[in-house]
Amino acid sequence: MTELLQFTVTGLTVGMVYSLIALGFVLVWKSSGVANLSLGQLVLLFAWFTYGMLVQAGLPLWLGFVLVIIFAIIIGWIIERFILRPLIAQPILSLIAVTLGLAFFIEGAVNFIWPRSVAALPRLFPREPINIGSAVVSQEYLWAAGISLLLFGLLTLFFKYHKTGIAMRATADDQMAVQACGIPVTRIFSRSWMFACVVAAVGGVLMSSIGGITHSLVHTGLKSFSVVILGGLDSFLGAIIAGPIIGLAENIGGGYLTPLTWPGIREVIPFIIIIIVMLIKPFGLFGEERIERI
């Protein structure tokens, strides 16, 4: 019982961070129709940048985080302006492939600037673990979940009431109509990339405060793909709900299946879920089913 509770709490909290990263993906997909496969590498890049600011440059925490957010915004702008804008209206194959190229580039750049493979961020959250029922949870997990929830709330409010947020939703709905209304669509694309990068940065910092900065952060990004597939590519709600589901499946499944099968099944469960979802319900739980015409 204790075990189950432990797995549940860990799964739910980690799942929230997956959701957060997945939101960045959904945002870009909805507004510009680009599938961002470099998500994992972006998470890695921002985690290392945080390390660079906080440890190597020795800046205070608040200044470091502000710089990380600014850096993320700049990266988002650069990606949209110089890589994806020339490719507007190209087939989806090129759009996917260009993000693969980007993933390669970012990974190389990370190796280039930070040749070490492992590092740890300074302690951001209090050290003492907390008891929930009979489970013991270290505080990082709870903080990560809390910050993710807070960001979900903020983003929801932003999309509901802020002018830019409404424009972004409108762009997702109908680009032509939005253009006709006098909203610069390319600027909306650029904004959505900045958002995606910022949530990737927050997700990267949260994940690396839990497990340190390793190359497995790239896998965190890949797991977010299973979140978006399960939740539906174009659904914010889907991403938020599917994240904890994937987290739970990964931790509970990993916890109980490892003795039955081979070690490391934890890492593969999200991918098995992807295949199953594809075969049964390819558009996910909340995704919009596309009806095609010739």
Which residue, 76, 68, 18, is CA-closest to 46? Answer: 68
Alpha carbons 69 and 75: distance in angstroms, whole number:
10
Residue 163 contacts residue 214 (beta carbons within 8 Å): no
Which residue, 152, 157, 167, is CA-closest to 239? Answer: 152
The distance of Cα 83 from the centroid of its chain, to the nearest Å, equals 20
> Smallest distance from the beta carbon of 78 to another protein, in angstroms?
12
Which CB, 5 or 267, lies closer to another protein? 267
Q: Which residue has the tokens 């995704």?
A: 287
> Smallest distance from the beta carbon of 160 to another protein, in angstroms?
27
Which CB, 138 or 266, lies closer to another protein? 266
> Smallest distance from the beta carbon of 104 to another protein, in angstroms?
3
Q: What is the DSSP letter of 137?
A: E
N-term to C-term CA, the chain: 55
> Smallest distance from the beta carbon of 225 to another protein, in angstroms?
5
Supply 172's token pair.
Answer: 């997702």
Which CB, 103 or 144, lies closer to another protein? 103
> Smallest distance from the beta carbon of 173 to another protein, in angstroms?
19
How far apart, in Å, are the Cα atoms of 201 and each of 7, 123, 208? 26, 17, 10
Which CB, 100 or 181, lies closer to another protein? 100
Which CB, 6 or 36, lies closer to another protein? 36
Residues that bind another protein (CB under 8 A): 29, 35, 37, 83, 86-87, 90, 92-94, 96-98, 100-115, 222, 225-226, 229, 233, 261-265, 267-268, 271-272, 274-275, 278-279, 282, 292-294
